[in-house]
Chain A
Amino acid sequence: MALRDWPIKRKLTALLLLTSGLVLLLTSAAFVTYQVVTFRQTMRDNLSTRARLLAANSTASLAFANDADATEVLSALKSDPHMVAAALYDQNGHVFATYRADPAADIPATPQPDGYRFERGRLIGFAPVAQQENARLGTLYLASDTEAVSDALRLSGIIALAVLAIALLAAYALAAALQGRISAPVLVLAQTAAAVSEHQDYSVRAPKLGDDELGKLTDAFNQMLGRIEEQKQELQQYATELEQRVAERTRELEQSNEALRRNAAELAASNDELDAFAYSVSHDLRAPLRSIDGFSQVLLEDFAAQLGDAGRDSLQRVRAASQRMATLIDDLLKLARVARAEFRIERVDLSTLAREIVSDIQRATPDRHVDFAITPGLEAQGDSRLLRVVLDNLLRNGWKYTGRQLAPRVEFTAEDKNGGRVFLIRDNGAGFDMQYVDKLFGVFQRLHSAAEFEGTGVGLATVRRIISRHGGRIWAESAVDQGATFYFTL
């Protein structure tokens, strides 16, 4: 597991152990080293002391060449198992007496300068032999092994290790016990956090254990929780409010939907009524007219003689009036149909449409020749049937109002004005006074009398209705006796 993933407890304990271990180790090492150093020093001192003692005891032997005595003196070293060898040299540097713990031990043939040193695993030393400060009588050589040092070292080492082990154990125990001081708050905090996130319970608070950084962390954490709780509550409030509002809104919507549905139903009903109305109008209104006209004609035919001119004239008027009424009914019907007709948008070839209408007109009235100028390739998006009605109306109007012209001309073309396509139908007919242009498109509004030009005054209203349904605009410009131009957009 990577070091950083260790639980805090383990980290802390390890840290404490490591620190104390290191300290103990260093201390032990220092201790052992000190031991060794002092021991060596002690050893030297001891050897030195012993050497002096021996030397002092050997003065007479050397002075009086009593090697037996000297040997005896040296042999006292036997008691110390660590003394390896010893020798006395006379004034001339010749070996005078020796002691060997091990018969194989070597002894320098000649004495070296005074002093002690560790050499090849041994402590050796050369000391002067002299009676007080008098002339040097000879030299004493001592050699001891360093077993003592090794032993001491070993002993120190063992002691140190033992102490280390015990101390580490103690440190471990202490660490394990004390690390809780640090880790407990952290763990508590971690647990609290886990609990919070698991159960989404923001009312939980972490207990504050102490006023150190962890305590501050705990405080901050708790504050955060508090704030989250607040916000949660606020949010819930908002949510509830929102729900309420949504419910209200939904209710309102439902109500308006209801209203709309009712309206739609009413509209549908109206439409149906309109349908029924139109239907009956088609039949029921026209039939009597037919009778009026028909029997008037019968009168005219069968009783021409009895009627006289005035009578005939009256009957003609009657007939005319009833026919006019029929036309009116038809136009109204057309207007009504336009209002509720299905609206299907497609690409409509206006030029072709216009040409068909023109040929219809020309076929119907072959004796009147009007010059129709239709720009080819005029297209628009819209309902073809309704657009046909528009063009039919406008073209027929053009045709109608140029009735008195010598060279009647009706033009259907398009311009690009103000970034849009504008269609126009222009005639060079009677025109109208712009003063009354507002009334042009009103139902039953006419700007000319029936004597001048016949008409029901419904046509343009229908046209405007259709253009509106296409989302377009229609307007007209004219001057009396200078023709009129009708513009429309789709």
Chain B
Amino acid sequence: MNPGKILLVEDNPDDVALTLRALKSHNITNDVIVAQDGVEAIDYLFGTKAQPAPRDLPAVVLLDLKLPKINGMEVLQRIRSEERTKLLPVVILTSSDEERDVIDGYSLGANSYVRKPVDFVEFTKAAQQLGLYWLLMNRAAPPPRAS
């Protein structure tokens, strides 16, 4: 199993719990970093005075769009604008089915867009598929050389 981490950017604790459960139920045991809003996500990725950025980037970022403070699109924008995280796989995982969001997401450089099903069974299936794909099948870009 890829030791890569999953960065889950999600503000809804229920959804967090359910997502973690879904992943666990399919034996995806990778570390899951949870950021509960956009700021936390960015702080994590790029580091702060208190907590420096991690050496390894996550293997995939599961990004919800509707976030307090900074919303998902801005986070995505930020991720794509930094040299460090430019090629980081980002999967938009959101309830919204709005075309606008889909277009904007891809425009800003998301790698994938998945709508969260209400049906939990479906949800866990989706989680499994995502995990399998992004952690196993997908080959992420090599980390950038240390500057």
Name A's B-contacting residues (CB within 8 A).
278-279, 282-284, 286-291, 293-298, 319, 322-323, 325-326, 330, 333
Contact = CB atoms under 8 A, between A and B. Distances in A.
B26 interface: no
Contacts of B12: 287, 291
B19 to A, nearest CB: 9
Interface in B103-147: 116-121, 123
Given A284-B66, A298-B21, A323-B119, A290 B94 contact: no
B37 to A, nearest CB: 14
Contact of A293 (B17, B21, B95, B118): B118
A75 B123 CA distance: 175
A289 to B, nearest CB: 5
Contacts of B15: 287, 290-291, 294
Contacts of B119: 293, 319, 323, 326
Contacts of A286: 95, 116, 118
B98 A279 contact: yes
B18 A295 contact: yes
Contact of B66 (A283, A290, A291, A295): A283
B113 to A, nearest CB: 13
A296 B119 CA distance: 10
B83 interface: no
A290 B14 contact: yes
Contacts of A333: 97
B98 A282 contact: yes
Contact of A290 (B21, B65, B98, B116): B116
Interface of B: 12, 14-15, 17-18, 21, 65-66, 94-98, 116-121, 123
Interface of B is mostly: loop
B97 A282 contact: yes
Contacts of B65: 283
Given A284-B66, A287-B12, A287-B15, A293 B120 contact: yes
B95 A283 contact: yes
A51 to B, nearest CB: 147
Contacts of A297: 120-121
Contacts of B66: 283-284
A294 B96 contact: no
Contacts of B120: 290, 293-294, 296-298, 319
Given A290-B123, A291-B15, A294-B18, A322 B118 contact: yes
B103 to A, nearest CB: 13
Residue from A287, A291, A293, A330 with most neighbouring chain B CB atoms (10 Å) = A287
A322 B123 CA distance: 14
Contacts of A296: 120
Contact of B118 (A279, A284, A289, A295): A289
Q: Give the most central of B21, B118, B120, B121: most A CB within 10 Å.
A: B118
B98 A278 contact: yes
B18 A290 contact: yes
A282 B96 contact: yes
A330 B97 contact: yes
Nearest to A279: B98
Contacts of A326: 117-119
Contacts of A279: 96, 98
Contacts of B95: 282-283, 286-287, 290
Nearest to A288: B14
A289 B17 CA distance: 14
A453 B126 CA distance: 27
B66 to A, nearest CB: 4
A333 B101 CA distance: 14
Contacts of A289: 118
Nearest to A298: B21
10 contacts: A282-B96, A283-B96, A286-B118, A287-B15, A290-B95, A290-B116, A290-B123, A295-B17, A296-B120, A323-B119
Contacts of B94: 283
Given A287-B95, A319-B120, A323-B118, 6 more contacts: A286-B118, A289-B118, A294-B17, A294-B120, A295-B18, A298-B18
Contacts of A298: 18, 21, 120
A294 B126 CA distance: 13
Contacts of B98: 278-279, 282
Contacts of B14: 287-288, 290-291, 294-295
Contacts of B118: 286, 289-290, 293, 322-323, 325-326
